[in-house]
Structures are given as structure tokens and as C-alpha cells.
Structure 1
């Protein structure tokens, strides 16, 4: 028998009408989950944004973030109180209500409506508890070398937070990686074989956006990472132990450039 959210987070029926529920999802640029992992305070912006319609016309917002690593899953982001409603934004504060569950309570619910800010009473009894994490979510754990597929946002969070599981794995491996630009659909093949392996090489992308690559520099004016966060994905094509010869890794890089035709004009590799 499933455990429903209403069994865990109890709100008296007479107060349900004081809440709107916000199913925060990808806004065309970024995922709220990635923004929250980068800094929990970033979730304020998702509640403060006011469209032309006054959607948050009740006192409280029950905030959920699309937990996109799993289907039909949402992560609880907290209860926000609406302090003021301006013509272009809301003023909100984070309530202490259910604060111990922020970033820890995962809920299952198939919600596909395009309207993301709706009346809480229509959904409160239908949200199912999926899991309560021991600690607030900090990003996906390292999935194994054969399953590394990251958005720039995810990679940025992993590197800046110095995630031990990812660093331990990537710093002890050389490899060949693929960067895909979701906007142009062009691809770039690179290799990592220096000190601290893939971790060091990808750290440079996080700090610069382009990793020193001439064609990628065109997308990162003055170290502005906006385009990278909206479009770049990183995939690990193959990995090797640190004892692998650098020339072997370089040769494998050339092989993948030929296979995927990533050299200019088809892709983003210049040689």
C-alpha cells in the first residue's frame, strides 16, 4: 500500500485553500533542480517570478521541483509565504513549515498539465511519497564510467561542490569525451590525460565554458556561461586507467573524431 504525502505532511482541510502548489519545471533554459543544487536560495526566484496572470493569489506556495532523473517524480522545495504582490514580481519568504523535508522528500505524481501554479486542494491527496532522503539532495551520485551523461549545469554543480564520489572516479581516469551543443547540434571530441585526468580537464570547462577550445570560445563571450548552461552536454565515450600512455589516448581521440565526423565544418573540432 503506498504512503501518501497527506499521511506525512498533514494540513488541516480548512487551511488547504490557503495554498497554491507550484510544479516547477524546465523553463526553456534551466532546470529548477539544478538551480537549487547550485544554491538553495535560487528557488526564491522561481517563486518571485510573476507572469501576466496573478497565479500566486493565495498566502502560501507549496513548492515542488521536477526531479528529472526519475519519471513522474518531484522534490519538495519548501513552503513559501507571499508577502507582497507587485505588478512584475512577488515578494516571498521561506516558511519553517515542513522545513525538515526540504530537499529530502521525493514525491511521485504524474502531472502533465502545462499550467504549473494551481490550487493545492486538487492535488494534495494524490501525491505519493517515493522516498525520504537521509540528507538534502546534492546531485546524482557517480553512476559508473559507462553512464556519464551530464548537462553543463550538473557538471558545474559536481565540480564546484567538489563531489567526492565524482572526483575520486574522474581524477583517476584518462578518457575521451563528447560535448554536444543542443542549439547547433554540433559536437566536439576531446581527451583528458594530464594530472587528475578527466576531473581536471572538465574543471577547466566549468571555470571557462570553453576549455581553451577555439570553436567553443565563440559561444562564451567574456566568460559568460549562460549559453553553456542552456545547451552543452558532456558524455564520456571511453575511459582508461592512469597508466595508459598519453599517445594512446590521443590516438583514440582521433578515432572518435573520424567516427562522429566532428571536424569543421561538420563539427567543432578544428583538427
Structure 2
């Protein structure tokens, strides 16, 4: 039975000449999620719409861009309408249209996505089936705090959270000490660290976001050789333990040593002691 309470995206994003548009379903490119890129930098996100590769995917005058909203299944965040000004050999020259800019990052669309593989499709084959799921008050700026036990976030996911000082994450991580784990997904090596004193997890992880290495010797060498993009692509953070700020620092240090022994991160990972 048809759901008459649903609102079609066409009622908000009204486009008459759909035959002049390609729809861009932006998904994970093997290194990053476009949603993380969008939150981190609008310029970087615009670059996703100018990338050409070996094919002329955006072969029409306009690009209707959607970003896979990975926190929820079958959801897409409206990423803007771009005009293809010029087609060069290795990239497109695009401009962001003023039309519907107020909905960029705010309009969440419900749609299963294309059945075929690829990123660009004829808009008319999908346009009428796009349904409004939610309209955020402000452009999406990163996920809400997920709980201490559910942190398994990449560097690129945490970076916008820390740079924007998201209040819920800051409040949660400022008020706990603990032992954390960084896994290098490129080689499986692990680093066990701890945060204590008066600064909490928030300050310690903020140091990693700012430097890529947090001034740990082995990680510093790695980032100096490969750049901070290595951390963005490969580092994943999680909490092994979290404790009240009233916990004695020596307890945290002892638990850090325990996890180093258990995970053998000194012998096989990035810990030196």
C-alpha cells in the first residue's frame, strides 16, 4: 500500500529538466566515506564532484549529488547541485549552483540506491522515487556520541568531531580517564595508550588529531615518513577501558601495561615499552 504521509523529494527539490542531470550516488571510494569528507571540508567534497577518472560519468550539464549517510541504511544526504562548466581530460570543472543550497547537508533522503554498480546515473530513473526522510535544523556536522563501548572510529571520522568541538563528544571524553587502542588497518599493528591527569581522553585524542601521531616515537616516525594522510586512511581508535576522573593515575598506568602485555603491542605493534 502506498504511504500517503511520505513527502517526495521532488516537492522540495523541484527540477523540470531532469534529462539534463546525472545523479551522483557518492559512496566509499576504498579509502574514505564521502560523509566524512563532507563534514571535514566542503572544498574536498566539491572535489568529489569534479573527479573524472577514466570515464565521462557526468556526461550531462548538471550533477544532482547525494552522499551515502552510513549511520543509517538506505539514507542519502543532499550534497548540492553542480553545473559541469568544462570537461578536461582528467577532471571536470564544476560550479556549485545557488539553487537549493539551503538544503545541502540538511535534507536526508530515503532511497535504497541504484542496483547497478557505479556512481553516476540518469536522474530521471531515480528522481521520482526519492523520499524525504528528515530535514535537519543545521547542516550535518558529524554523528552524535555513540557511547564509550561503541567507539570504533577511524581518524577521518574523529577529525571533524574534534575540529568542530562537538559538545556531546567533548563532554563525554573530557570526563573520563582510560586506556585506548589505535589499530593501523594497513598492517594490523596496534598501539596501546592511556589518558590520565586532568585532561581526559578528549585532550589526548585531540593531540593525535592535530599531529597524526600524538608524539609517540614509533607513530611519529611513521607519520613523518608518510604524512598525516596515512593516519586519516589507516588509524582506527577505540577505548579498552574508561574510568572516572577520580581514579588514581597509577591505576590507569597499570591497566595500560596490562593491555600492552595482553595484546603484545610492544613485540608486534608500535609500543616501545
TM-score, normalised by the number of residues in structure 1: 0.93
Structure 1 segments (4+ residues) deviating >3 Å? none
* Rounded Cα–Cα distance in structure 2 between residues aligned with 1:223 and 1:242: 35
- Please report how far the alpha carbon of residue 223 of structure 1 lies from its aligned counterpart in structure 2 after TM superposition: 7.7
Aligned residue for 2:165?
162
1:80 and 2:93 correspond: no
What per-residue deviation string (whole Å, max 9, x for no partner) do you get for residues 199-219 of structure 1?
A: 111111111111122222242
What is residue 25 of structure 1 aligned with on the other side? Answer: 27
Select the residue among 57, 74, 78 that pairs with 2:59. 57
Q: Which residue of 1 aligns with 2:15?
A: 11
CA–CA separation in structure 1 for the residues paired with 2:8 and 2:187: 43
| CA deviation string 1:35-76 (max 9, x = no partner) | 111122222111111122211111110011111122222111
Q: Which residue number in structure 2 is paired with residue 43 of structure 1?
A: 45
The whole-number CA distance in structure 1 between the counterparts of 2:130 and 2:188 is 37
CA distance, structure 2, for counterparts of residue 66 and residue 126 of structure 1:
16
Runs (5+) with no aligned partner, structure 2: none
Deviation at 1:29, TM superposition (A): 1.9
Call closer, same or farther: CA 1:54–1:26 in 2, change over 3 Å: same
**Distance across 2 between alignment mates of 1:106 and 1:243:** 42
Q: What TM-score does the superposition give when structure 2 sets the normalisation length?
A: 0.93
Question: How many pairs does the alignment contain?
Answer: 268
SS at match of 2:66: strand
**What is the alpha-carbon root mean square deviation over aligned residues?**
1.6
In the TM superposition, 1:222-261 aligns within 5 A as 224-261=227-264
In structure 2, the CA distance between the partners of 1:260 and 1:3, relative to structure 1 (3 Å rule), is farther
